[in-house]
């Protein structure tokens, strides 16, 4: 028999669904008036209902929604373990920190060890390397995939090389076959930054399923969202234990919040120089953080999982539509291409302005924004030219020629599921008009 509380909960959730319909009514797109964003959250009443449902439990840290999300997301991504965290940047931090754990013995990373990566990307792929005293070794990238030039991997190798950490640029998988063969051949760790590439496939497998560790972001701009949020994925039991410890204050205990004595010997451990039987819940095996997410975030994520296949289909459809529409611009713009043997769930649509184009990248971006069409650069361009990285210890395997070209000539526009064909048509119309010297329609 329903209790008063359960009946009230049902009423609250029903009203929440009605509120969504009242608060976010649809409206038609008007070119030149309405902004065409590069990215954004796509949701409906189910996310709002789950969020309110979780809040009514008032279980503010990890709970039932977290357990459900981690289990289901592991299956989607082809990994045994998903560890939910508070952001994709935190996920990258934990992935690198995990490889410095004493529990890895001789394979642990130590200050001064080298990690191969690229400078054309988002800062938080590289920042954790610097923060742990590791030496990033930069390899150039290729156009039109915007991913690592794997021909330079052997040049990047040195006796100090211990790992490779790379992102799948704008959802386009890097050449995983070549990179994985390289890391396997030399006994190196591989971290896949998959923050922009959930749903992308390589040789029929999910991006993020190849490395020792993978990371994901659930920021509103990404393939699915929790608002803030991220995850570390691994199939290694030891790596899972290390990441979990580092995420949860560095503790040795693996009990879930609100749970005691999962191991059955809470007061029977002897660790370090602590007295025998010291409470395992307050025993620390790593110098860690608190980077957990909340169950309310996970509740949103569970709803988003139901839409994920549709999101991927929309991104692929929008990419193909825009690429066809911009085919006439190929004499002025380099259009993106998927990495061979891959099927990207594209995060954005990158474009590189050719040398003989009538307008520069900066001129095009300014005019697109004036026409209410959102643009982004390819993140940091060349990290080494950014003010924060002046004086950072690093090594270059080869001149970063294409990385500099991206810094100077590349931008991207949106293809996320919230964009309609009218928005994509307007984007293509304005861009083609600019390149042909026509006035922008307002």
Each of the 442 residues of the chain gets a pLDDT tens digit; together they read: 688 889 999 999 999 999 999 998 888 999 999 999 999 999 999 999 999 999 999 988 889 999 999 999 999 999 999 999 999 999 999 999 999 999 999 999 999 999 999 999 999 999 999 999 999 999 999 999 999 999 999 999 999 999 999 999 999 999 999 999 999 999 999 999 999 999 999 999 999 999 999 999 999 999 999 999 999 999 999 999 999 999 999 998 888 777 888 888 999 888 888 999 999 999 999 999 999 999 999 999 999 999 999 999 999 999 999 999 999 999 999 999 999 999 999 999 999 999 999 999 999 999 999 999 999 999 999 999 999 999 999 999 999 999 999 999 999 999 999 999 999 999 999 999 999 987 655 5
CA distance 370 to 288: 46
With the CA atoms of 166, 169, 170 and 174 taken in that order, what torsion angle do they form, in degrees rounded to the nearest 10? -100
For position 26, what pLDDT does the model report? Answer: 81
Sign, Cα dihedral of 248, 249, 254, 255 = negative
SS3 content of the chain, % helix, strand, coil (to 5): 40, 15, 45
Is 132 annotated as catalytic?
no
CA distance readout (Å), 95 to 125, 214, 269, 355: 10, 8, 27, 39
Rg (CA), the chain: 23
CA distance 193 to 210: 11
Sign, Cα dihedral of 35, 39, 41, 44 = positive
For position 364, what pLDDT does the model report? Answer: 98
Q: What is the DSSP letter of 155?
A: H
CA distance 367 to 435: 11
For residue 439, give the 3-state DSSP assignment: coil
For position 1, what pLDDT does the model report? Answer: 66
Predicted TM-score (pTM) of the model is 0.95
For position 256, what pLDDT does the model report? Answer: 79
Active site residue: 59, 132, 186, 222, which one? 222
For position 84, what pLDDT does the model report? Answer: 98
Burial class (CB in 10 A: 0-12, 13-18, 19+), 319: buried
| Backbone angles phi and psi of 344, in degrees to 5 | -70, 145
For position 59, what pLDDT does the model report? Answer: 85
CA distance 288 to 94: 9
For position 431, what pLDDT does the model report? Answer: 98
For position 25, what pLDDT does the model report? Answer: 82
For position 439, what pLDDT does the model report? Answer: 64
């Amino acid at each position: 028999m329903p209790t008063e509380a359960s009946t009230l909960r049902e009423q609250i959730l029903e009203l929440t669904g009605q509120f969504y319909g009242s608060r976010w009514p649809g409206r038609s797109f008007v070119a030149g008036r309405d902004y065409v964003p590069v990215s954004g959250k796509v949701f409906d009443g189910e996310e709002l209902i789950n969020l309110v449902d979780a809040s009514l439990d008032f279980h503010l840290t990890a709970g039932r929604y977290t357990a459900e999300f981690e289990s289901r997301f592991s299956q989607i991504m082809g990994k045994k373990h998903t560890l939910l965290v508070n952001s994709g940047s935190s996920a990258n931090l934990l992935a690198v920190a995990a490889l410095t754990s004493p529990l890895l013995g001789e394979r642990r990373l130590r200050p001064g060890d080298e990690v191969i990566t690229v400078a054309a990307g988002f800062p938080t792929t590289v920042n954790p390397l610097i923060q742990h005293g590791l030496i990033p070794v930069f390899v150039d990238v290729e156009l039109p995939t915007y991913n690592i030039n794997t021909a330079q991997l052997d040049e990047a190798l040195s006796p100090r090389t211990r790992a490779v950490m790379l992102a799948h640029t704008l959802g386009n998988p890097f050449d995983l076959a070549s990179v994985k063969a390289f890391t396997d051949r030399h006994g190196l760790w591989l971290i896949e930054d998959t923050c922009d590439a959930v749903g992308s496939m390589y040789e029929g497998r999910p991006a993020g399923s190849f490395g020792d560790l993978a990371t994901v972001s659930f920021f509103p701009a990404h393939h699915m969202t929790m608002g803030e949020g991220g995850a570390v994925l691994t199939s290694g039991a030891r790596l899972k234990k290390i990441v979990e410890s580092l995420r949860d204050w560095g503790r040795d205990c693996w009990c879930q919040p609100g749970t005691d004595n999962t191991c059955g010997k809470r007061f029977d451990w002897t660790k370090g120089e602590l007295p025998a039987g010291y409470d395992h819940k307050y025993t620390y095996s790593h110098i860690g953080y608190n980077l957990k997410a909340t169950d309310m975030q996970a509740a949103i994520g569970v709803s988003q999982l139901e839409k994920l296949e549709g999101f991927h289909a929309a991104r692929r459809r929008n990419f193909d539509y825009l690429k066809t529409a911009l085919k006439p611009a190929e004499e002025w713009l380099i259009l993106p291409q998927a990495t061979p043997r891959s099927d990207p769930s594209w995060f954005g649509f990158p474009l590189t302005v050719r040398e003989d184009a009538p307008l520069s990248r900066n001129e095009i971006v300014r005019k697109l924004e004036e026409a209410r069409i959102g643009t982004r650069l390819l993140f940091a361009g060349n990290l080494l030219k950014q003010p924060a990285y002046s004086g950072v210890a690093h090594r270059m395997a080869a001149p970063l020629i294409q990385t500099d070209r991206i810094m100077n000539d590349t931008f991207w526009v949106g293809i996320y599921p919230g964009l309609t064909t009218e928005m994509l048509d307007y984007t293509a119309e304005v861009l083609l008009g600019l390149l042909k010297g026509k006035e922008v329609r307002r």
